Amino acid sequence: MKKQIICTSCPIGCQLEVVIEDGLCTQVSGNACPRGKTYAEQECLRPARMVSTSLLIPGRSLPLSVRTDRPMAKDEIKACLQAIAEIKVQLPVKVGDVLLANVLGSEVNIIATRNYE
């Protein structure tokens, strides 16, 4: 089966054509870089996305922005957002600090994207 997908690895957004056989991606074309191939394979297997959101810090007006440190399985984004909302942050934090490791038992960590004192 042939399928058109758009690579979201970077803002260029290459239009990829993939061949899927038995649920596996066997051929990728249209990618401008190797990341496109990885993306297409993942997209056929189990799509994953970066997740960015923010957390309210009680008593402070500025929310703390956070993100996953790698793409999160798309079907788990909702649960991931829920897990993030439940994080109790100990200030101060620095950019890159892990606020929640192995979210939902995955390899994905939630990191701070802002210095917050």
Partner 1 sequence: MYDVLIIGAGVIGCALARELGRWQLKVAVCEKNSDVADGASKANSAVVHSGHSAAPGSEMARLNVAGNLLYDQLCQDLNVPLQRNGSLNVAFTEEEVTSLRQLMRDGEKNGVVGMRIVAPDELRVMEPQLNSEVKAALFAPSSAITSPYELTVAMAENAAQNGAEVILNCKVLKVERREGCWVVFCSDRKLQATVVVNAAGPYSDVFNNQVSAEKIKILPRKGQYWIVDKSYEGSFKHTIFQVPGRMGKGILVTPTVDGTILLGPTAEDQDDPEDTSTTVESLEYIKEVAKRTWPALPTHALIGSFAGIRAHTKEHDFIIGEVKDAPGFFNAAGIESPGLTAAPAIAEELCQQIVAKLNPAENRHFNAYRSPIPAFRNMSFAEKTAAIARNPLFGRIVCRCEQITEAEIRASIRRPVGALTVDAVKRRTRAGMGRCQGGFCLPRVVDILSQELGVSPARITKDGELSEILASERPDRPADEQLVQNGSGSQACENPEVLVVGGGPAGLAAAIAAYDRGCRKILLLEREPMLGGILQQCIHTGFGLQIFKEELSGPEYAQRYIDQLEQRGIAYQCDTMVLEISPDRLVTSVNPKLGLQQFQAGSVILAMGCRERSRGALGIPGTRSAGIYSAGTAQRFVNLEGYVPGKKIVILGSGDIGLIMARRMVFSGAEVLAVVEIMPFSSGLKRNVVQCLDDFGIPLLLNHTVTEIKGRGRLNAVVVSKVDERLRPIPGTEREFSCDTLLLSVGLIPENELSRAAGVKLSAATSGPLVDERMQTNVPGIFACGNVLHVHDLVDHVSVEAALAGQAAADYCRQQSLGLPEEFLTIEDGFGVRGTVPQRVAKHSLQKALRLTFRPSQVFMNAKILIEADGTPLLESRRRILTPGEMTEITIRGKELATLQDKNTLTVKIISP
Of 22 and 69, which has the nearer Cβ to partner 1? 69
Whole-angstrom distance, CA of residue 29 vs CA of residue 6 = 11
**Residue 49 touches partner 1, criterion: CB under 8 A:** yes
Nearest approach in angstroms of CB 13 to partner 1 is: 3
**Residue 45 touches partner 1, criterion: CB under 8 A:** no
The residue type of 4 is Q
**Residue 113 touches partner 1, criterion: CB under 8 A:** yes
User: CB atoms < 10 A from the CB of 107, how many?
Assistant: 10
Contacts of 17 (CB under 8 A, 6+ apart): 2, 3, 4, 28, 29, 30
Which residues contribute to the site for partner 1 (CB under 8 A)? 5-13, 15, 49-54, 56, 58-63, 65, 67, 74, 81, 95-96, 113-117
